[in-house]
Amino acid sequence: MTAATADRDAERRRALRRMKLLATGLLIVAAVVFAVAFALQERYPWLGYVRAAAEGAMVGALADWFAVTALFRHPLGLRIPHTAIIPTRKDEIGESLGEFVETNFLSDEVVAGRLGTLDLAGAIADWLARPANARRVVTEVSGGLTGIAGLLDDDRMRDAVEAVVRTHIVEPKWGPPLGRLGDRVLASGGHREAVDLLLDRLDDWLAAHPEALAQLVSGRLPSWMPSFVDRLVDDRVHAELRRFVSDVRRDPDHRLRHALDDYLADVAARLQNDPATIERLEDAKARAFDDPRIRELAASAWSAARAAAVDALSDPQSELRRRATAAVADAAARVTRDPELRASLNTRLADAALHLVSTYRHDIASIISDTVRGWDAAETTDKIETQVGRDLQFIRINGTVVGALAGFAIYAVATAISAAL
């Protein structure tokens, strides 16, 4: 219980005590007036009206005191049937209250009708469109994600990531999907750009490294050949190779391109249909993923990713936090400006809320009955009396006043009839 709740309960108890004193005081006043009027009625006949009023006030006060007291305890400690109703029937009251809430507040008609009158999306968007509120939401979400990240066990997360990767990436065969992907790439001609890029880079590299072919060609010539011959051969081979690469680059119909297309098509077909090729790829994949260095790389990647995410989420000035805040505010502003989008979101929010209420209506209502069932009988009585007891004391006061008026009216009518007869 919070301090504010405790203070409110204390104030209610003081108000209840004051109302009890007032109601009891009226009963005592009525009793004193009745005694005086009864004693002097023979001397002063008009006091008969006062006595009747006081007598009615006492009857009304006592009857209503009994009724109010019987709700919470046994009057005067006497175990009269149908008294102390709240402590003895606490569980039934809780179930009835839960059923009442479920039927009258959580019905589909009530929820749908209420949600249909609300512009939830607009209200949320108006609130989020303010930069301070968008920043607050991002801060709260970031704090929650940072806390969750801090609770994660690195070893278990690495095992979980590895299990997901193995189930959805490693264990399925790669050959047929890669082959089908290759067919689509070849059919679309997308590989030609990659070939052009490769030829461009090869030509640039040959231009920048003319000496790269020295050992490859002249190094294999006889040692007795003059050195100038070695240079001529190297230069000639280098020039011819660059010329060949240039021809392939300029000619989209070059035979090398066709040969490469045929080779790639053959590889794609074998990846889909050749068991030996598929098995070799699977063996290579298994060796790669079973390599301890690969697993160490995956572990370090997870640790680095988590550390980077935590740092970005923890820093209010990080690029991630700034971009997230701007994205939230921009999305909210768009919803505010677009009536159709807002209406669509309202429909979806209403459908989601209605689905949740329909699915968990009984569970929500059972919270009330379960909570009341878990209360101690004395605690339940104290809680309810503290909340509504002050208002119930007005019943006693009203009973005293109404009893007095009734007693006076009955005596007056009876006296008038008697005089008339």
- What is the number of structural domains in the chain? 2
Q: Is 139 helix (H, G, I), strand (E, B) or coil?
A: helix
Write the CB contacts of 381 (distance below 8 Å, at least 6 apart in sequence): 72, 73, 86, 87
User: Which structural domain, as residue segments, surrounds residue 28?
Assistant: 3-88+375-420
Is residue 140 in some structural domain?
Answer: yes
Is residue 362 in some structural domain?
Answer: no
Verify that 333 and 264 share a domain, yes or no: yes
**Domain endpoint, select from 310, 337, 364:** 337
Verify that 180 and 265 share a domain, yes or no: yes
Verify that 198 and 287 share a domain, yes or no: yes
Is residue 352 in some structural domain?
Answer: no
Is residue 387 in some structural domain?
Answer: yes
Q: Identify whether the C-beta of residue 23 lies closer than 8 Å to the C-beta of residue 400.
A: yes
Is residue 415 in some structural domain?
Answer: yes
Verify that 393 and 332 share a domain, yes or no: no
- In order along its 421 residues, the chain shows pLDDT tens digits of 567 777 887 888 888 889 889 999 999 999 999 999 989 988 888 888 999 999 999 999 999 899 888 888 888 788 888 888 888 887 887 888 888 888 888 888 888 888 788 888 888 889 988 888 888 988 888 888 788 777 766 677 777 766 776 777 777 888 888 888 888 888 888 788 888 888 888 888 878 877 766 555 555 544 544 554 455 666 677 777 788 888 888 888 888 888 888 888 888 898 888 888 888 888 888 777 776 766 666 667 767 777 787 788 788 888 888 888 888 889 888 888 888 888 888 888 888 888 888 888 888 888 888 887 877 777 778 888 888 888 888 888 999 999 999 999 998 998 888 877 6
Long-range contacts of 95-104 (CB under 8 A, 24+ apart): 95/369, 97/368, 97/369, 97/372, 98/365, 98/366, 98/367, 98/368, 98/369, 98/372, 99/365, 99/369, 101/365, 101/368, 102/361, 102/362, 102/364, 102/365
| CA–CA separation, 389 and 16 (whole Å) | 6
Verify that 246 and 294 share a domain, yes or no: yes
Verify that 199 and 322 share a domain, yes or no: yes
Structure tokens at 388: 């509504």
Verify that 81 and 152 share a domain, yes or no: no
Can you give the pTM of this predicted structure? Answer: 0.50
Verify that 407 and 315 share a domain, yes or no: no
